[in-house]
Amino acid sequence: MPVSNHDVTIRRWAERDHHVVHWTELGEGGHFLAMERPDLLIGDLREFFRKVR
């Protein structure tokens, strides 16, 4: 799941309770990443699915 630089990162709680396969912290974009920077979101989704194929 991509996280923008404006969101509070909850990575340690996610990793405590789940097996995290892919985590991205982006240096740009805001809370509505899919609307603001869809190119970054799509790139991250493609990278994730390349890993789990």
Q: What angle do CA 24, 47, 9 make, to 5 degrees?
A: 10
**Per-residue model confidence as pLDDT tens digits over 28-41:** 777 788 898 899 98
Given a cut of 80, whether residue 20 has pLDDT beyond it is yes
Closest of 2, 1, 6 to residue 30, by C-alpha = 6
Global pTM exceeds 0.75: no
CA distance 1 to 13: 14
CA distance 7 to 49: 23
